[in-house]
Amino acid sequence: MSQEQWTAVDDYITARLIPPDPVLEAALAATAAAGIPMINVAPNQGKLLYVLAVAHGARTILEIGTLAGYSTIWLARALPADGRLITLEYEPKHAEVARANIARAGLAAQVEVRVGAALDTLPQLAAEDAGPFDLVFIDADKVNSVAYFNWALKLTRLGSLIIIDNVVRDGKVIDAASRDVSVQGVRALYEALAAEPRVAATAVQTVGSKGYDGLAVAVVLGA
């Protein structure tokens, strides 16, 4: 099994299940044109986020790690007309391109992009009583994964979903001796998920156009 095959199968899936989408294609073109790294979720992963948000009936969504708004658009499309999504991004340039992409998608009224280090903007959200969010998507710097998970717990309610991207990283996650701070950040996240009685959590490995990685999903319980 090879990257070439995973990409070909992703192309097969996407060709059948994800109709051509000029808004999303324009968002990716603008990302590339701005020289922003193309580390957005794949189309079929974006649609998975959309399916989960629709199935969950999410009306309020928090995203940590906007990049140029590709996953943001998928998630925001799941919202009802009066729904809200707040997305947190550190890089002003990413936020600027994201805002343009979100506006082109017709989602500007529902989506707010907040610029700053998420560890600064998350306490602000809490202070504003911005929650509870029905769904949180964590996809920023991996070194702070545990902190983001703990903030997600503070900003959610019973039944909320917490989804976390990049939890396998080419399988590097099982290397306890890794000197990669991102790997250690994700490993610490697994320990936090395991130790937290207020969530039921799982993770699945994924392969596809974005390589070999994984997605964790947790539901907030009453415990």
Write out the binding residues for ligand SAH, residues 100-129 only, by CB under 6 A.
117-118
- 165 in contact with Mg ion (CB under 5 A): yes
The two structure tokens encoding residue 210: 């974005």
- The item of Mg ion, ligand SAH, ligand DHB, none sharing an interface with residue 71, based on CB under 5 to 8 Å by kind, is ligand SAH
Of the candidate spans 65-73, 128-136, 177-185, 189-197, the one that interacts with ligand SAH by CB under 6 A turns out to be: 65-73
Which residue lies nearer to Mg ion by CB, 63 or 139? Answer: 139
Task: Using alpha carbons, select from 44, 23, 55 the residue that is nearest to residue 219.
Answer: 55
Report the alpha-carbon distance of residue 56 to residue 135 in Å, rounded: 8
Residue 39 touches ligand DHB, criterion: CB under 6 A: yes
x/- site string to ligand DHB, residues 137 to 176, per CB under 6 A? --x-------------------------xx----------
Strand partners, 202: 217
Question: What does the alpha-carbon distance between residue 175 and residue 83 come to, in Å, rounded to a whole number?
Answer: 41
The candidate with the shortest Cα–Cα distance to 39, out of 142, 185, 189, is 142
Q: Least distance (Å) from ligand DHB to the CB of residue 63?
A: 11
145 is an interface residue for Mg ion by CB under 5 A = no
61, 53 Cβ separation under 8 angstroms: yes
